Amino acid sequence: MAIIMKDIKKQYPGTHQPVMEHFNLTIQEGSFTVLLGPSGCGKTTVLRMIAGLEDVTAGSIYIDDKNITNLDPGERNIAMVFQNYAIYPHMTVRGNIEFGLKNYKISKSEIAERVNYVLSMCDLSEYADRKPNQLSGGQRQRVALARAISKSPKAFLMDEPLSNLDAKLRNQMRSEMIQLYNQLGCTFVYVTHDQTEAMTMGTDIVVMYNGKIQQHGSPEDIYNNPANLFVAQFIGNPGMNTLQFSNGGFVGFRPRDARFGESESGLNIKGNVLTCEFLGYDYNITVNTGMGNVVIRTKDRKAVGDQVSIHADQKDLFYFDKNQNRSTEIQTGEVVKVFHVDA
Instruction: Give whichever of 160 and 197 is closer to another protein, judged by the CB atom.
Output: 160
Whole-number minimum distance, CB 151 to another protein, in Å? 6
What distance in Å separates the CA atoms of residue 23 and residue 5, rounded to the nearest whole number?
Answer: 7
Q: Give the shortest CB-19-to-ligand ATP separation in angstroms.
A: 4
Check residue 74 for interaction with another protein (CB under 8 A). yes
**210-227 residues labelled b (16+ CB within 10 A) or e (exposed):** ebebbbbbebeebbeebb
Which C-beta is closer to ligand ATP: that of 193 or that of 216?
A: 193
Q: How far is the CB of 73 from another protein (least distance, A)?
A: 5
For Cα atoms 197, 201, 206, give the angle at the middle one, nearest 5 degrees.
80
* Beta carbon nearer to another protein, 88 or 260: 88
Residue showing the smallest CB distance to ligand ATP in the complex: 44
Candidate ranges 89-97, 208-216, 251-259, 289-297; the one touching another protein (CB under 8 A): 89-97
In single-letter form, the type of residue at position 300 comes to D
Q: Is 82 in the site for another protein (CB under 8 A)?
A: yes
**With contact defined as beta carbons under 8 Å apart, do 135 and 124 qualify?**
no
Applying the rule CB under 6 A, the residues between 188 and 227 that interact with ligand ATP are 193
Q: How far is the CB of 319 from another protein (least distance, A)?
A: 45
How far is 266 from 64, CA to CA, in rounded Å?
Answer: 49
Amino acid at 125: S
Residues 6+ apart with CB under 8 A from 146: 93, 97, 118, 119, 121, 122, 124
Which residue number, 44 or 286, has a Cβ lying nearer to ligand ATP?
44
* CA dihedral over 120, 122, 127, 129, signed as positive or negative: negative
Is residue 44 a contact point for Mg ion (CB under 5 A)?
yes
Q: Does 43 bind ligand ATP (CB under 6 A)?
A: yes
Say how far apart CA 1 and CA 154 lie, in whole Å. 7
b/e per residue, 184-203, with b = 16+ CB within 10 A?
eebbbbbbbbbbebbbebbe
Q: CB-based burial of residue 46 (10 Å sphere; 0-12 exposed, 13-18 middle, 19+ buried)?
A: buried
Q: Residue 103 touches which of ligand ATP, Mg ion, another protein, none (CB < 5 to 8 A by kind)?
A: another protein
Residue 118 makes contact with another protein by CB under 8 A: yes
Question: Which range, of 73-81, 216-224, 302-310, 322-330, touches another protein by CB under 8 A?
Answer: 73-81
For position 52 contacting ligand ATP by CB under 6 A, the verdict is: no
Q: Out of 28, 66, 89, 307, name the contact with another protein by CB under 8 A.
A: 89
Query: Which one among 18, 38, 100, 238 touches another protein, defined by CB under 8 A?
Result: 100
Q: Is 40 one of the binding residues for ligand ATP (CB under 6 A)?
A: yes
Say how far apart CA 150 and CA 152 lie, in whole Å: 6
Q: Does 133 bind another protein (CB under 8 A)?
A: no
Binding site partner of 114, from Mg ion, another protein, ligand ATP, none, Cβ cut-off 5-8 A by kind: another protein
Helix (H) or strand (E) holding 190: strand 187-192
Does position 42 interact with ligand ATP (CB under 6 A)? The reply is yes
Selected range binding another protein among 51-59, 219-227, 296-304, 332-340, rule: CB under 8 A: 51-59
**DSSP codes of every residue in 11-29:** --TT-SS-SEEEEEEEEPT
Please measure the distance between the N-terminal and C-terminal CA atoms of the chain and give it in whole angstroms: 33
* Chain residues in the site for ligand ATP (CB under 6 A): 12, 15, 19, 37, 39-45, 193
